[in-house]
Chain A
Amino acid sequence: MLEDEAVQAEAPVPKMAAPSPRTPVKVVSVIEFARNVRLWFAPAQVREEGGTPDYRFSLANERTFLAWLRTALALIGGGFAVDQFLPDLRWAWRAGLALALLGAGVLCSLRAVNHWMRCERAMRRGEDLPVSRFPALLSIVVAVVALAMVVVVLVGWEG
């Protein structure tokens, strides 16, 4: 009974937050991620699920994946560029910015293949495409790095 009440009391809460229940979301997403990583290396298993979608949808998904991969490559190139073309900066700032950009590039590329896989599976099973808060996160990170660059360049020129 108590549990029922607790469930009822909590029921309206997720309406304001995420559409899914809150606490197990992280665990579920970790399990989901692990299964997806296994699928990256076992392509035959993907074909076992559902039906093959229209090839044009698959190609569109592939182009989205490539666009994310280009974003990742641009971030990595930006990391190298920071290291190369801001030589007057103090080492800590330069290495920090470069590593942040390289790390963002790694995250972006791993997320690209993971999201591609999730979309592919969703299309095969006829489900809704997965939603993601990664674009928002990435744009915030890029904005923060850009601001840091502005500050660093200004300070670097003065000092």
Chain B
Amino acid sequence: MNADAGQERDPGLQPERTRLAWRRTTLASTVAAVLAAKTALHGSVSAVGIIACALCCALWLGFLLVAHRRISALASSDSPLALTPRHATAAVLCTVALAACGATLVF
């Protein structure tokens, strides 16, 4: 749309690459969440399994939200601000909580 924006674009396509890295990471988290849901609902369906499955879905949604906000921040300007520690911590906490869910499910 804007010719100036095209000229100012970083030739290394750093924001785009970072955006795609977030996409890949959401894909990886989707795979992990699907496997978690399968583990939770495997065999006889119990209350613990359903709660764990709901928790895994919520964590996945949380991760998706973090990624979405970061992706829109990256897309909004030509020289985007750096990732904030809060975002990074939120993404990591989702991952850790998913693993914690998994640990309870394995037992």
Task: Decide if the interface of chain A is mainly helix, strand, loop or mixed.
Answer: helix
Q: Is B46 an interface residue (CB 8 A)?
A: no
Contact of B18 among A62, A73, A113 (CB under 8 A): A62
How many residues in B have their beta carbons less than 8 Å from beta carbons of A?
41
A97 to chain B, nearest CB (A): 10
Q: Are A102 and B102 in contact (CB-based, < 8 A)?
A: yes
Q: Are A77 and B14 in contact (CB-based, < 8 A)?
A: no
| Chain B residue nearest to A70 in the complex (CB) | B28
Contact of A117 among B25, B29, B35, B85 (CB under 8 A): B85
Decide: A109 near B18, CB < 8 A? Known: A56-B10, A59-B80.
no
Q: Is B32 an interface residue (CB 8 A)?
A: yes
Number of residue pairs spanning A and B whose beta carbons lie under 8 angstroms apart:
129
Query: Which stretch (A21-29, A38-46, A148-156) binds chain B?
Result: A38-46
Decide: A43 near B84, CB < 8 A? Known: A55-B79, A76-B32, A83-B39.
yes
How many residues in A have their beta carbons less than 8 Å from beta carbons of B?
45
A selection of 27 A-B contacts at a CB cut-off of 8 Å is A40-B88, A41-B85, A42-B85, A58-B83, A59-B18, A59-B80, A62-B18, A63-B18, A66-B18, A66-B22, A66-B25, A69-B95, A70-B24, A73-B28, A73-B32, A76-B102, A77-B31, A79-B106, A80-B35, A80-B36, A83-B105, A83-B106, A102-B102, A105-B99, A110-B92, A113-B88, A116-B88
